[in-house]
Structure 1
Amino acid sequence: MTNPRVAFLRELAGEILDRYGRGRMIVAVDGPLRSGKSAFADDLRDVLMEREHTVFRARMEDFHRSREAQAAYGPDTPERYFGYGYDESALRRALVEPFRLAGSAAFVTRVFDPSRDAWVEPKWITGPEDAILVIDGRFLLRERLTGLWDFRIAIDGDPTDAADLLAYATRDPRTVADVVVDLGDPAHPRRSGERRPDET
């Protein structure tokens, strides 16, 4: 099935694959709360799989710190959440680093269930030498993480949540992304700044 959203995603997938030779590649999708980034990343995975690539999917939400662990960093504030809400050590150790190793190295795409505030039993998986990981989440393009990704996508939109406001004041992901996507009309995504066909 082809529609404007799928057509846009296929064009974007082509751009990503132009940079993708052989080996492992990680695509990060950042954006403010409720920006549509997760659904966009899901659809991007599906379009990449159309081209017979092995694609894995991960969400930063599944690398949360527990509420107890966050409490070690002070009271519950937007500053604490922005600084310590996610377990970036687990992200690197359990997912990014072993994924990069390829070969027989196993990795996990989920370590925590934020809805239950509980760790989950890790499911270690492996993949072929050539594979793509698509991950979405808030704060992915922050300076201390952005070097982990091969291709960086930012969903356009001004932040409204307090933690997002802090993140964007520190480093606006739209200024460091390879592509900024406007999802103002989710059925008709476009690159930020481009006119839609029906606009004059």
Structure 2
Amino acid sequence: MRYEAITWERLAETLAGRLDASAPADGSDWLKVAVDGPPAAPGGELAELLAEALRTRGRAVHVVGTAGFLRPASLRYEYGKQDPDAYYDGWTDVGALWREVFGPLETGGTGRVLPDLWDPVRDRATRSPYVTLPPGGVLVVHGPFLLGHWFPFDLTVHLRLSPAALARRTEETWTLPAFARYATEVDPAGTADAVVRADDPRHPAWTGLGG
């Protein structure tokens, strides 16, 4: 896999340009983008840069982080607070994402998206009001383990860290087996539309966009 150097700002502009020339693959009125990567990667920052680049083009954008869709602590910690398998497939409320984020953006949907559902610090519902994304708008979702759920993304970007960089920059080292499992079972670097090497966040490099 060949990488070329790029800045985060230029990356966001390039992705926005691709999206501006694209139509939703599912026939709906909304484009959907994944910025996939571990917490150690700057996925939230890239999502916000992309949103800004799209807004300058006159597109309405809504950014959702999967950290706002974690399941309650009683479910997340059913097998202990440091179980990597539970972290991999049991922490994020995938059903809620389908129901509250992707469902409203299907063909004939209302466009009413819930920004977040659960506050993991207080361990209670956020009670955030719905946000209406108008037709022609773009949904940008960022977080780990986004690929492999059949979410209807029109563009997928994977932020890749080498095993050594991931281990060095991950605070919760007990989660590392979950990312190894994700790499093996889903192969995000092989399936994403674009892969960004983020070992050094000051000097990203990427594969470019295929197609």
TM-score range for the pair, normalised by the shorter chain length: 0.7 to 0.9
Q: Deviations over 1:75-116 (max 9, x none)?
A: 441111111111111111111101234664522021011222
Structure 1 window deviating more from structure 2 (24-33 vs 9-18): it is 9-18
Aligned to 1:152: 156
Which runs of structure 2 are paired with 1:47-66 in the superposition (5 Å)? 47-66=53-72
Aligned to 1:86: 92
CA positional deviation for 1:12: 2.1
Which runs of structure 2 are paired with 1:100-139 in the superposition (5 Å)? 100-101=106-107, 104-139=110-145
SS at the partner of 1:61?
helix
Question: Across the two proteins, how many residue pairs are aligned to each other?
Answer: 188
CA positional deviation for 1:185: 4.3
- 1:89–1:4 Cα change, 3 Å: closer
Contact 2:111 2:135 in 1 (8 A): no
Looking at structure 2, the residues matched to 62 and 140 of structure 1 have their Cα atoms a distance apart, in angstroms, of 14
Contact 1:156 1:192 in 2 (8 A): no
- 1:167–1:130 Cα change, 3 Å: same
RMSD: 2.3
Q: Deviations over 1:9-39 (max 9, x none)?
A: 2122112322236820110011123111111
Looking at structure 2, the residues matched to 113 and 92 of structure 1 have their Cα atoms a distance apart, in angstroms, of 18
Structure 1: where are the runs of 5+ without partners? Answer: 194-200
CA positional deviation for 1:120: 0.8
Q: Deviations over 1:96-152 (max 9, x none)?
A: 1012346645220210112222211031121221110001000001x2x24421111
Aligned to 1:67: 73
Looking at structure 1, the residues matched to 108 and 135 of structure 2 have their Cα atoms a distance apart, in angstroms, of 6
SS at the partner of 2:32?
strand
- 1:34–1:167 Cα change, 3 Å: same
- 1:132–1:81 Cα change, 3 Å: same
- 1:147–1:125 Cα change, 3 Å: closer
Looking at structure 1, the residues matched to 111 and 18 of structure 2 have their Cα atoms a distance apart, in angstroms, of 28
- 1:192–1:157 Cα change, 3 Å: farther
Aligned to 2:171: none
Contact 1:155 1:183 in 2 (8 A): yes
TM-score, normalised by the number of residues in structure 2: 0.79
Contact 1:13 1:48 in 2 (8 A): yes
